[in-house]
Structure 1
Amino acid sequence: MLEKLELDDDAAEPESDIYMRFMKSHKCYDIVPTSSKLVVFDTALQVKKAFFALVANGVRAAPLWDTEKQSFVGMLTITDFIIILHRYYKSPMVQIYELEEHKLETWREVYLQATFKPLVNISPDASLFDAVYTLIKNKIHRLPVIDPVTGNALYILTHKRILKFLQLFMCEMPKPAFMKQTLGELGIGTYHDIAFIHPDTPIIKALNIFVERRVSALPVVDDSGKITNSNSSTDTNLAAEKAYNNLDITVTQALKHRSQYFEGVVKCHKMETMETIVDRIVKAEVRLTLMYIQYIH
């Protein structure tokens, strides 16, 4: 949602740039919790062990530390796991060697080949505006906060975390006009060529769609076109972690591994206001919602 907000200094209305000014007046350090879990992996660690550790610690990403270079060189996310399964899975009878035997450094060499780029990160003293800009510019969902003096990784910033921090202070600020506009009026959301799956879709096919369509969630739609569930990249990772050697199982079977605390799909309507949707996203602690109009055809 944050990437859809206008970040133009020449705003027409005085209050329309209030959130931008708020972001510029707060540092990344302000958003770092006093106590939080941060998992760091050495690039010499096996790929399989790294992903199991992500699941065991309940985190979705971890900075990668290169002992030889004595610096952070990248990030490992659930998307990487999906790409590995998408690229190398053949059948339940064939072991995924690249997952079982490769080290993280080997996978990075194979996947990135000659396109190694410096890790995108941000200083704790940088403004939240800079953090939002960096997330958008680099088209990433997670931004590690690294102290330039000590080299220590402090936290991983996300759109969701920044939005939650902003929402804490919204009641104290003038409300921009766009917050009272509907999603339809603002033109926010995906309305055409929506990627989706069915309850009986094999999990490997869902993985393929995640990679080919570059989406982070897929609505699960029944034969009548009604949304019955949703499958996110996180769900796929957890399901695959429990039985990644058999990705021919259906999405319905995979989603049985979901947390008992899962409360259902978070939905919205194009006639609801931005203010309503922001509140819903923050309270539900999700990164996106499914827009329910009537049916998906």
Structure 2
Amino acid sequence: HQVPAVILNQTIPRISEEDLRASRYQISAFLAAHTVYELLPESGKVVALAVDLPVKQAFHILAEQGIPVAPLWDFYKGKFVGVISASDFILILRQLGNHGSSLTEEELETHTISAWKEGKARRNGLVDGHGRPIPRHLIFVSVLAGPGDNLKDLALKFLQNGVATIPVIHSSLEDGSFPQLLHLASLSGILKCVCRYFKHCSGSFPMLQLPIYAIPLGTWVPRIGESSSRSFAMLRPTSSLSSALNMLVQARVSSIPIVDDNDSLLDIYSRSDITALAKGRAYTHNLNEMTVYQALQLGQDSNSPYEPRTQRFQMCLHTDTLLKVMEQLANPGVRRLVIVEAGSNRVEGIISLSDVFRFLLG
């Protein structure tokens, strides 16, 4: 475990390997014993989109509904065939911004989601011997009349596939026909179950009482002159939106802290913020001329019910315990915490939901 630069002068509390293994075993056993049914809300709305919908219309629907992802329904096949997410729109906008792009703004009016997905598969070389796109294995959770998928398997599906949302599908028929979309599962929902169960007995789990700087968790700002295995991306408010989108794709991260000249946190730009560009057709503007600050202002004006800015912009200290960090991340809409220095808000690192589950599941 590489010690973060910010705490070199502090004594690092430790627990034995045996205690760590025991804590992980208990959490793993808890997740394996509980099912996806426990994530289902008593009531709620789930939005799905038809795969033959124009890309532009899908973009606007996600923005209006305040959601970053939606399952795709194919009426011809009578089943769910994939998802469309904020990441798709980032790739589309980057393609539009490239000179000689094969997709123009006018074509977004008629270009369907299925056509975009097929084109994306071809560009990624995902085609069979006849040049037909090979559909990416669709990650769905089967919630059957029996016990259903357990939460451990679901958490591992998130980590193995690098996705933020997994549709929960139920079909009472053996062949899976007439599927019902019940819920969009997220890691925060699973973490909420863990926190609810372990909160009152956390004293028996020394791992949960450790400060986050004492455990291999998250991505930290590297020390001067030190190479880091994972890059740490930060941007200024005056950076162009196109540079932010490029960074999200190339660094394979879901969010980038926006900082001032002292590296103090001002805001955060996330993949899901891309849907705010649907407002006033801002995506038709040159993305090199729009700043990150201007793009965030669009989102602030249309505060979405899914991820309010106050919830999306969450901070923690490196002295906070693992349990405290887990409880913050278990709140709906919170996908990551920015670790800041007390007082100055200087960015020290970032912790995501997937970081926490990688650590918990060992």
What is the TM-score with the length of structure 2 in the denominator?
0.72
Q: 1:142 aligns with which of 154, 159, 165?
A: 165
Question: What secondary structure does 1:146 align onto?
Answer: strand
Q: 1:52 aligns with which of 48, 51, 60?
A: 60
- Tell me how far 1:137 sits from its aligned partner: 1.6
2:153 equivalent to 1:130: yes
What is the TM-score with the length of structure 1 in the denominator?
0.87
Which shows bigger deviation, 261-270 or 161-170? 261-270
Q: Partners of 1:206 and 1:159 in 2: how far apart? A: 25
How many pairs are equivalent? 286
- Tell me how far 1:117 sits from its aligned partner: 2.3
Q: Which residue of 2 aligns with 1:105?
A: 114
Q: Which residue of 1 aligns with 2:294?
A: 253
Check the 8 A contact 1:266/1:284 in 2, yes or no.
Answer: no
Residues 30 and 204 of structure 1: is their aligned pair in 2 closer, same or farther, counting only changes over 3 Å? same
Q: 1:167 aligns with which of 195, 209, 232?
A: 195
Residues 11 and 181 of structure 1: is their aligned pair in 2 closer, same or farther, counting only changes over 3 Å? closer
Question: What secondary structure does 2:266 align onto?
Answer: strand
Residues 17 and 98 of structure 1: is their aligned pair in 2 closer, same or farther, counting only changes over 3 Å? farther
- Tell me how far 1:34 sits from its aligned partner: 1.6
Task: Give the greater-gyration-radius structure (CA).
Answer: 2
State the Cα deviation string for residues 186-217 of structure 1 (Å, max 9, x = none). 11111243111111111122111111111111
Check the 8 A contact 1:82/1:237 in 2, yes or no.
Answer: no
Q: Partners of 1:204 and 1:241 in 2: how far apart? A: 17
Q: Partners of 1:138 and 1:95 in 2: how far apart? A: 31
Q: Which residue of 1 aligns with 2:28?
A: 20
% same residue: 27
Q: Which residue of 2 aligns with 1:187?
A: 216
Question: What secondary structure does 1:80 align onto?
Answer: helix
- Tell me how far 1:283 sits from its aligned partner: 4.3
Q: Which residue of 2 aligns with 1:289?
A: 337
Q: Which residue of 1 aligns with 2:239?
A: 201
Check the 8 A contact 2:60/2:278 in 1, yes or no.
Answer: no
State the Cα deviation string for residues 140-175 of structure 1 (Å, max 9, x = none). 111111114342121111111211232222234454
Residues 172 and 21 of structure 1: is their aligned pair in 2 closer, same or farther, counting only changes over 3 Å? farther
Question: What secondary structure does 1:49 align onto?
Answer: helix
Q: Partners of 2:104 and 2:52 in 1: how far apart? A: 21
Check the 8 A contact 1:196/1:218 in 2, yes or no.
Answer: yes
Check the 8 A contact 1:65/1:72 in 2, yes or no.
Answer: yes
State the Cα deviation string for residues 21-73 of structure 1 (Å, max 9, x = none). 22112110121112111111111110110111111112221111112222111
Q: Which residue of 1 aligns with 2:136?
A: 117
Check the 8 A contact 1:146/1:154 in 2, yes or no.
Answer: yes
Q: Partners of 1:32 and 1:21 in 2: how far apart? A: 21
Q: Partners of 2:167 and 2:181 in 1: how far apart? A: 7
- Tell me how far 1:263 sits from its aligned partner: 2.7
Check the 8 A contact 2:87/2:271 in 1, yes or no.
Answer: yes
